[in-house]
Amino acid sequence: MINTDDEQQKRYAVMDDTIPTKERIIAWPRMGNIDLSMEALVSSLGAKIVMPPQNTNEALEIGVKNSIEGICLPYKLNLANYVMALEQGANTLMMFQAPGSCRFGNYTKMAQKTLKKMGYKFDMCVFDMYQSKMKQTLAAFWHVTRCINPFRYYKGFSTGFNKAFAIDTAERLLFYTRPRELNKGDAEKCYKKWYQIIRETTSISGCKKLKKQVIEDFKKIPIDKDKIVPKVYLLGEFFVLLDPYTNQEIEKTVGDLGVEVQRQIFFSDWLEHVLKPSLFYKKESHRERCVRYAKDYMKRAIGGECIETVGDTVYGARNGVDGIIHIMPFSCMPEIVAQNILPKVSKKEDIPVLELVLDEQTGKAGNITRIEAFIDLVKRRKLREVNKNDNKIKK
């Protein structure tokens, strides 16, 4: 049995070096709003960038056509993003990896072999952000840019982090405001406006002000503060949670039905926990909370977001959340484990759970019908709870 540090380094830090630094054109897969932070960081280091188009049916068709049968939907779209970026002139592909039972750890190796067979010439830079956190991250960006200017790194990480915090704050406020707004569409317009502003802001001082400005602008939207609005946690695999095309804009669907979505995984939270040294991370992290709440149902993390799915369901049930929507890609191994645990959690913790499994064959109309039925159930439970509490007060 061989398991040396050198082998771990080779497994999780693949950094090709066949293209001169000055000729590098860098690309990475689309994953929600990750491009806002990545674009700020890489461009600050002086590198050229190619952004593949947002995920669409065209991208999905490319991914399905060139993927092995049974592989999960996130891989297919990641592969399509690589193909489309290479077609636009990219020659250096970046991706992070993580250990565990999730096939995410093999995405880049599989994609690399597939793309080489398709005739593309490129360098691949793969780094595991869980192995040595900031050290691995800095090494990866230095490898593809050869930038040695410390101010550029400071600017890149500062603007990237602040953009991530700002856009995630805008999303949280969108989820809160959408089911309560008096003028339909105000929250969506506000979010889209700030998405563009966040993308176009490049200065360090400007990026630091973004989060506060977003909050102040959302406060101006007229809302019904007395409206009874059920709260539903949206849980599941990282990619499908963050990518609106993949999850069929489920957050908008649920919000338009008069329910507040509370997504438990945001890129900024994950970024802060992964990159920030533990010495400076004094509060309990999202993962640590999930491990604590999941302990009655599973003893250890098995990779992916499995333990987060279970832990957040328990936490939500014990803290006044009205329902859980669990979304996952078809054949996702960690989420299959969670899927088999959740019925027990649902029964024991008395919280309704809706399971949605997504792949390229999933029809949006069918999912909307299931979501509408589930939300109707959640609303009836919420109304009974409100009436019960009102009766107690009257007595």
Does 103 or 149 have the greater pLDDT score? 149
pLDDT at 217: 97
**Over 70: is that where the pLDDT of 395 sits?**
no
pLDDT at 7: 43
For 95-127, write each residue's pLDDT tens digit.
877 655 566 667 778 888 999 999 999 998 887
DSSP of 56-107, one letter per residue? Answer: -HHHHHHHHHTS-TT--HHHHHHHHHHHHHHHTT--EEEEEE--SSSGGGGH
Residue 92 to residue 187: CA distance in whole angstroms: 38
For 328-380, write each residue's pLDDT tens digit.
999 888 899 999 999 999 999 999 999 999 988 888 888 999 999 999 999 99
What torsion do the CA atoms of 92, 10, 280, 266 make, to the nearest 10 degrees?
50
**Over 90: is that where the pLDDT of 266 sits?**
no
Specify the DSSP element, H or E, that contains 261: strand 260-263
**Over 80: is that where the pLDDT of 57 sits?**
yes
Is 11-146's fold the same as 229-394's?
A: yes
Cα angle vertex 324, ends 330, 179, to 5°?
Answer: 115
Report the SS3 class of residue 142: helix
Predicted confidence band at 392 (pLDDT cuts at 50, 70, 90)? Answer: low
Alpha carbons within 13 angstroms on the beta-carbon side of residue 236 total 26
Token pair of 122 as six digits: 């490129």
Does 106 or 222 have the greater pLDDT score? 222
pLDDT at 162: 94
Residue 309 to residue 340: CA distance in whole angstroms: 11
pLDDT at 19: 87
Closest CA to 383 of 258, 230, 177: 230
Looking at domain 229-394, which CATH architecture does it have?
Answer: 3-Layer(aba) Sandwich (3.40)
**Over 70: is that where the pLDDT of 5 sits?**
no
pLDDT at 361: 82
Specify the DSSP element, H or E, that contains 214: helix 204-219
**Over 90: is that where the pLDDT of 264 sits?**
no
Domain 11-146 sits in CATH at 3.40.50
pLDDT at 83: 96
pLDDT at 251: 95
Long-range contacts formed by 365-373: CB under 8 A, 24+ apart: 367/248, 367/250, 368/253, 371/250, 371/253, 371/254, 371/257, 371/325, 372/257
What are the domain boundaries of the chain? 11-146, 166-177+180-225, 229-394
Per-residue pLDDT averaged across 202-206, rounded?
95
Per-residue pLDDT averaged across 225-236, rounded?
94
Predicted confidence band at 322 (pLDDT cuts at 50, 70, 90)? Answer: very high
Average pLDDT, the chain: 88
Phi, psi of 15 (to 5 degrees): -135, 95
pLDDT at 69: 82
